[in-house]
Amino acid sequence: MTATFPWLSAAIWIPIGFGLFLLSAGRDRSAGVVRAVALVGSLVGMLATVPVVSGFNLERASLQFEEKVVWIDTLNANYHLGVDGLSIWFVPLTAFITVIAVLAGWKAIGERVAQYYASFLIMSGLLIGVFSAADGLLFYVFFEATLIPMYIIIGVWGGPNRVYAAIKFFLYTLLGSFLLLVALVFLYQSSSGSFEIFAWQRLPIGMTAQILLFLAFFAAFAVKVPMWPVHTWLPDAHVEAPTAGSVVLAAIMLKLGAYGFLRFSLPIAPDAAHHLAGFVIALSLIAVIYIGFVALVQTDMKKLVAYSSIAHMGFVTLGFFIFSPIGMEGAIAQMVSHGFVSGAMFLCIGVMYDRTHSRNIADYGGVVNTMPRFAALMMLFAMANCGLPATSGFVGEFMVILGAVQYDFWIGLAAATTLVLGAAYSLWMYKRVIFGSIANSAVAQMTDADSRELLALGLLAAAVLAMGVYPRPLTDAMHVSVGQLLQQVSHSKLP
Amino acid sequence: MSKLNFLATLPEAVLLTAACLILVADQFVPEHRRNLSYSISLTALAAVALCCWNLLDGQGVQYAFGGMFVADPMAQVLKLFACLATGFALVYAQNYARARAIWRGELFSLALFTLLGVMVMISANNLLLIYLGLELQSLALYALVALQRDQPRAGEAAMKYFVLGALASGFLLYGMSMLYGATGTLDINEIAHRIAASQVANRPALVLATVFLVAGIGFKLGAAPFHMWVPDVYHGAPTPVTLLIASAPKMAAFAVAFRLLVEGLTPVAGDWHLMLLLLALTSLAVGNLTAVAQSNLKRMLGYSTIGQMGFMLLAMQSGVAGGTTASAASAYAAAMFYVLTYALATLVAFGIMLLMSRRGFEAEEISDLSGLFRQRPWYAFAMALAMFSLAGVPPTVGFYAKLVVLQSLLADNSALPVVWIAVIAVLFSLVGAFYYIRVVKVMYFDLPGADHPLDASADMKIALTANGLAVIVLGVVPQYLLGLCSSAMVRTLGG
C-alpha cells in the first residue's frame, strides 16, 4: 500500500507550522488564546499520526508511508521519510506526549507563553522528523535541531540552576553529535556519495573502520540514552527543566539515542557491534544496578525519577546487544512504556510542585489525605515504574530479562535485580510522599488534581494499562522489522 | 587574450564611477543632506551586484586587459556577495555613525574604494594587479579604522593594523618578487604553465616564494600564527568598520589564495597544502581556545573569525589531496561556501550590535545583550540564529558549511590521518560552540538591565530581518547557495 497523502510530512510540519505561527503572532496579553492554539496544534498534529498507525502494514519489513523528494541536489541528499516496525510507535508517541506537555504547562507558565508553546510544538515536529528520516543528513539535521528548543526551554523556563543545566545539556549532546557528523560524512564518501541510511546498511566496511564508526555512533547515542558514565547531564537537565520539558526529555528525547542504535550502530557496523557487545552490556548492567542504588538515595523526587530513567534505559541497551528477537522487541517495548511511565512520573511531580514549589521528598508526607484521586493515579505509575504485571512497565522488562537469561544466566540474573531495586526506590518514595499523616501545613493546603491534570494523567494511565494488558499490537507491528534487523546484524559486513 | 574586453570589467567601472561621484558630490552637499551619498552608494552597490549577476550567467572564463584581469564565475559570485555585504554593512552603520558624527562622505567613498580593492583582488590574474587591489583595499581600510580620530582606541587599532598590514604586504610582495625571479613572468596562468613544463630551474626559490605568499595570505585571512592584529583591530575599530573588515575582505583573501596557490602554484601543491593544513590546525586551536576567555563581543568575534578561517583552510588544503578535478572543485566550492556563510552570520551579529548601540553607548560587551529576548524577541532570535550558524548547529546555514568542508576533507578517506584531522576540527568546533551558545545564554536566560530604546531606521530593521531570515531559510533549503557555489567553481576550473 502506498500512501497517497503525505501523512508523515503532515505529522512533522503541522506542529512546526503552529509553532512558527505562535512565535510570530503570539503575545503574552492573549495567553489564553495562545494556549488554545497550542492545544489545537498538538491535537491536529496527533490526528495526523492516526492514519500512520491505522494504515501500517504488519507484514512488511521495509519502509512504509515513504516520501522522497530531492532536497539538496549538490550533495545528493533527499527529503526521504518513512516508518518501519522499529520507528512506527515513536511517531504517535511523540505526538501524544506533546499533547500531554501542552496540558502540563497550562497554568505553571505565565510569561512568554507563546514562545514556550512554540518551542514545544516545533520540537515535536523535529522529533517526529528524527524518527521518520530515512536520509542520513535529514536525520542529523532533525536530531541536532531538537537541541535548540530544548536548550531554550530549560534555560528560560527552568529552575534556579537552569543556566548550568542548559549549557551542560547542550555541550554534552553536541560533542557526540559532532562525532556522529564525521561518521556520517565518512559513510557518505565511502558509499560514493549517498546519504541513504539503507544504502549504508548494505555497504561492506572493514573492521577498523567499523569500530571507529561504532564508537562515533556510540558517542552520539550513548550520551543521548544516556548510558553510564556519560549520564551526568540528565539529572541536572531534569531537575532544572520545567515539568513539560522533563516530560518530553524523558519520554521522547532519550529514545532518540536508543533509536540511533537500531538505525545506525547495529545495521551499519554489525561486526563491531558483536565485537563490542560485551562492553555495551557491561555498561548497561552498571546503569541498571549502580544507578538503581543511586536512585535509592535521592532526596529530590525529580532526580530520583531521572536516575530511574537511566536505569530503565540501561535495560533498553541491554536488550539490543543480546541480539535475540525477544530481547530486542522487549527493548523497544520498554522504550515505548518508559515514554508513558517516566512522562507520567514527571507530570505527577509537576502537579505537586505546582502546589508547594518543592521537589524534596522530605517536604511531603500524607498527600493521600488531601489529594486522594491524584494519589491513586500516581500509585499506578509508581507500580508501572517498578514493572508490575498488567502495567506497560512489565512487558519490556520481562521480555528483556527472558532474552538475557537465554543469552547468559548471570547477565539475566543481574538484570533481574532491577525488579527489586525499581520497587525499592519507586515505592519507598511513594510511601514517604503520599502515605502517612499530613506532614506540614503546605501539604495540608494542597488541593486535589483539577480536571485538566486528571485528564493528562488519565490519558497516560489508560495508555499504561492498555499496553500492559494487551501488548500484542505493539509487538506485532515491530516483529517483521526486528527479524530483518537481526538478520542483518548476524551477517558479517567485512569486505 | 590581448583584447581589452572592457565589458568584463563593467562592475568595477560602475563602482569606481560611483565612488568618484560621491567624492565630488561631497564638496557641494551640505552636512545635513548627507543621505545623498548614502543613496548614491546603495544605488551603485545594487547596480554593481546586478552587473555581477548578469555576468554570472552565460559565459565561462573571460579575460580582459591583456590577461591581467579575469572574470570567471567564481569571481562573479564572490563580487556579488561582497557587494551585498558592503551594502548591508552601510545600512547597519547608519544609526551608529550618525550618533558619532562619522556619517560623512568619507565613510561612503572609503567603503566603496575598499570594495573596489576587494573586487580587483578577486579578479586579478597578475601578481602586480593582486598587489594593487590589496593596497587599494588596505589603505582605504586603514583610514576607515581611524575615522573616529578622537578615540585613542581607534587610533591605536589603525596604527596596529597599518604596521602589521604593511608587514603582510611586504611578505606578499617579497614572495611575488621571488616567484617572478624564478619563473620570469607576472601572469598567473603563465607561472603555472612554466612550472608545470619544468622550465623553473631554481626550485628552492619557488618553495621560498610559496612560503612568503602563504604567510601573506595567512595575514590577510587572519589565520594563526599571523592573527595578532585581528582581535585588536576588531575591538578598536568603530563597529561598522569592523563589520566591513570582517566581511568582504575575507572573500578577497579567499580569492587571492585561490588565484595564487590553486591557479598559479598547483605544481608545488605538495608544499603549500601542508602549510595550509598547519595554518588551519593552529587557527582552530588558537582562535577557539582564546575566544572562550573573551568578555567583549567584538574581540570574541575576532578570535572566532580566526577559528572559522582555520576551518575554511581545511577545505582549501584538501582540494589537492583528492587529485581529481571533480573533488578539487567541490573542495574549493566548500571553502567558498564557508566564507559566504561566515559573512552572512557575521553581518547579523554586528548588525545586532549596531542596533543596540546608541548615542554615548557602545553595545560591545557580551553582557550588553543580556535579557534581549525579553525586550526584543525577534532580534534576539536573529542573533541566536547567527550564533548557532557560526557554531554549525542545524538547521542554520552554517551547519552546511561545516558539512561540506568535512566532506571535502574526507573525500579521500583511505588515509586514516584525515579522519583524525576531521575529529580534531570538530572537537575545536565544540569549544567554539561553547562561547557561541554563551551569547545565546546571555540573551535568553539572563535578566535584562535597563530597557534600551531602539532608534533604528526602518531600512535597518528590514535589512536585519531579511538577513536573519536568510540564515535559517538557507539552512532549510541550502540547495540554492550550495549549487551556486559548486556550479561556479566547476565552470571556473573547467574553463
Please report the pLDDT score of residue B321 as a whole number. Answer: 56
Q: Among residues B219, B329, B213, which one has the least CA distance to residue B272? A: B213
User: C-alpha grid cell for residue A175?
Assistant: 560533542
Q: What is the full DSSP assignment across A238-276?
A: HHHS-HHHHHHIIIIIHHHHHHHIIIIIHHHSHHHHHHT
**Cβ–Cβ < 8 Å for B473, B391:** no
Backbone angles phi, psi at B461, to 5 degrees: -65, -40
Residues 6 or more apart from A226 whose CB is under 8 A from it?
A: A233, A234, A254, A257, A310, A313
Please report the pLDDT score of residue A126 as a whole number. Answer: 93
A130 vs A244: CA distance, rounded Å:
20
Tell me which residues of chain B have a C-beta less than 8 Å from any C-beta of chain A.
373-374, 377, 381, 388, 393-395, 399-400, 402-404, 406-407, 410-411, 413, 416, 419, 422-423, 426-427, 429-430, 433-434, 437-438, 440-441, 444-446, 477-479, 482-483, 486
Backbone angles phi, psi at B457, to 5 degrees: -80, 165
Residues 6 or more apart from A408 whose CB is under 8 A from it?
A: none
Please report the pLDDT score of residue B324 as a whole number. Answer: 59
Give the closest of A74, A185, A208 to B406, CB-based. A185
For A57, left (φ over 0), alpha (ψ -120 to 50), or beta? beta
Residues of chain A with pLDDT under 70: 1-3
User: C-alpha grid cell for residue A77?
Assistant: 541528499
A251 vs A97: CA distance, rounded Å:
7
**Residue A135's beta-bridge partner residues?**
A196
Residues 6 or more apart from A125 whose CB is under 8 A from it?
A: A11, A12, A13, A14, A15, A16, A19, A45
Which ranges of B124-202 does DSSP label H, i.e. alpha helix? 127-145, 152-183, 188-196
A206 vs A194: CA distance, rounded Å:
18
Cα first-last separation, chain B: 14
Measured torsion, CA atoms of residues B197, B202, B207, B210, in degrees rounded to the nearest 10 = -70
User: C-alpha grid cell for residue A157?
Assistant: 523556563
B152 vs B372: CA distance, rounded Å:
30
Residues of B in contact with A174 (CB under 8 A): 393, 430, 433
Give the closest of A72, A140, A179 to B394, CB-based. A140
Give the closest of B422, B445, B482 to A72, CB-based. B482
B253 vs B299: CA distance, rounded Å:
21
Q: Among residues A66, A118, A120, A58, which one has the least CA distance to residue A94? A: A120
pTM: 0.91
Give the closest of A162, A163, A185 to B407, CB-based. A185
Measured torsion, CA atoms of residues B473, B476, B481, B482, in degrees rounded to the nearest 10 = 160
Q: What is the full DSSP assignment across A397-465?
A: HHHHHHHHHHH-HHHHHHHHHHHHHHHHHHHHHHHHHHSSS--SHHHHT-----HHHHHHHHHHHHHHH
Establish if A163 touches chain B: CB-CB under 8 angstroms: yes
195-214 in A: which are within 8 Å (CB) of B?
208, 212
DSSP 3-state of B187? strand
DSSP letter for B201, please: -
Measured torsion, CA atoms of residues B323, B324, B325, B327, in degrees rounded to the nearest 10 = -90
Chain B residue with Cα closest to A151: B441
B304 vs B290: CA distance, rounded Å:
8
Helix (H) / strand (E) element for B69: namely strand B69-71
Radius of gyration of the CA atoms of chain B, in A: 21
**Cβ–Cβ < 8 Å for B465, B53:** no
Tens of pLDDT along chain B (495 residues) come to 457 788 888 899 999 999 999 888 888 877 777 788 888 899 999 999 998 888 887 667 888 888 889 888 899 999 999 999 999 999 999 888 888 888 888 889 999 999 999 999 999 999 999 999 999 999 999 999 988 878 888 888 999 999 999 999 999 999 999 999 888 899 998 898 888 887 777 788 888 999 999 999 999 888 888 888 999 999 989 999 999 999 999 999 999 999 998 888 888 887 888 889 999 999 999 999 999 888 899 999 999 999 999 999 988 888 775 555 667 888 899 999 999 999 999 999 999 988 888 777 778 888 888 888 888 888 889 999 999 999 988 889 999 999 999 988 888 666 667 888 888 999 998 998 889 988 998 888 888 877 667 777 888 889 999 999 999 999 889 988 998 898 888 888 875
**Cβ–Cβ < 8 Å for B217, B168:** no
The two beta strands, A64-72 and A77-83, are antiparallel
Q: Among residues A331, A327, A322, which one has the least CA distance to residue A282? A: A322
Burial A38-75 (b: 16+ CB within 10 A, else e): bbebbebbbebbebbeeebeeeebebbbbbeeebbebb
A268 vs A203: CA distance, rounded Å:
8
Residues of A in contact with B393 (CB under 8 A): 144-145, 147-148, 174
User: C-alpha grid cell for residue A203?
Assistant: 555497504
B183 vs B363: CA distance, rounded Å:
51
Residues 6 or more apart from B139 whose CB is under 8 A from it?
A: none
How far from chain centre, in Å, is Cα B218? 13
Please report the pLDDT score of residue A1 as a whole number. Answer: 43
Q: Do B444 and A179 touch (CB under 8 A)?
A: no
Establish if A140 touches chain B: CB-CB under 8 angstroms: yes
DSSP 3-state of B332? helix
Measured torsion, CA atoms of residues B312, B315, B319, B321, in degrees rounded to the nearest 10 = 130
Distance from CA of B251 to the nearest CA of A (A): 22
Three-class SS of A170-183: HHHHHHHHHHHHHH
What residue type is A75 in one-letter code?
L
**Residue A256's beta-bridge partner residues?**
none
B387 vs B396: CA distance, rounded Å:
9
Q: Do A151 and B437 touch (CB under 8 A)?
A: yes
Residues 6 or more apart from A448 whose CB is under 8 A from it?
A: A370, A371, A372, A373, A374
